Copies of this chain bind each other. A is one copy, B any other.
Amino acid sequence: MKTEPLIIGDYTFESRLFLGTGKFGSNALMHDAVFASGSELVTVALRRVRLQEQEDEVVSHLQIPGVHLLPNTSGVRTAKEAVLAAQLAREALQTNLLKLEIHPDPRYLLPDPIETLAATEILAKEGFIVLPYINADPVLCKRLEDVGAAAVMPLGAPIGTNQGLQTRAMLEIIIEQSAVPVVVDAGIGAPSQAAEAMEMGADAVLVNTAIAVAGDPVAMANAFRMATLAGRIAFEARMGAVSKSAAASSPLTAFLAQE
């Protein structure tokens, strides 16, 4: 079943499920999970890429037809560090796609709104397709859009917690107002939560921990693939309203009265 394609910068995606590649038990498992997920965009932490070496183990396992790499700047703490990291990533991986992550906070890994806005402005001008990872802040999302972000990536819950869409009330406003794609990133811990984000109208979701730490990561990747697509189809098929009072789907006239 076909759904509308997703366009970010000059890339077009059929799949609306992005994958993170950390925490997998092995590179082979990571490869198989990415393949099963149907994802066309996978993040890779720049720190994991051996920049000077010809045969990088992580990157070589992600050479899958149709799959684009999205380097992320995980580990940087300021706009300045992020800009330098982004330039190294572009050179090493030959892509202008960039997931911008700036989190000075070592415990919850939450993003810094000020540094992220500053770095987005600089990097967008330098030709990067910038996808900033941010708190679910509607005003910040509009400002990022104004300085050239290609998409916004608000968090659903703190990274790695599997808590789901804790920021739902703010995500709804972000989705309503955004002129660029909205990718819900972080906190999605179950296929049902990926489907829920898509039903709300999010343009894509990014999942990592929930797949990587599952008992069977490849099967879980497949489950996320289907649930994300199901959520998108439901959004396009226009769901019914939630109501307070019941409405019978079966007729209520007394069964025996009319026999």
Report which A residues bind B (CB closer than 8 A). 1, 20, 22-23, 43, 45-48, 72-77, 81, 84-85, 88, 101, 103-114, 117, 135-140, 142-143, 157-163, 166-170, 173, 189-193, 195-196, 199, 208-210, 212-217, 219-220, 222-227, 229-231, 233-234, 236-256, 259
Asked, given contacts A114-B117, A234-B190, whether A243 binds B161 with beta carbons under 8 Å apart, the answer is yes
Task: Tell me how many chains of this kind the complex includes.
Answer: 4
Contact of A159 among B46, B160, B236, B246 (CB under 8 A): B246
- A163 surroundings in chain B (CB, below 8 A): 169, 242
A189:B239 contact, CB within 8 angstroms: yes
- A227 surroundings in chain B (CB, below 8 A): 191-192, 195, 226-227, 230-231, 234
B110:A46 contact, CB within 8 angstroms: no
- A109 surroundings in chain B (CB, below 8 A): 246, 248, 252
Contact of A251 among B47, B103, B113, B220 (CB under 8 A): B47
Besides the known contacts A157-B169, A190-B234, A226-B226, 12 further A-B residue pairs in the complex with CB atoms under 8 A apart: A22-B248, A47-B255, A81-B256, A109-B246, A160-B247, A163-B242, A167-B170, A190-B195, A191-B231, A215-B237, A222-B230, A227-B230
- Please indicate which of the listed interface residues A74, A222, A234, A254 has the most CB atoms of chain B within 10 Å of its own CB: A234
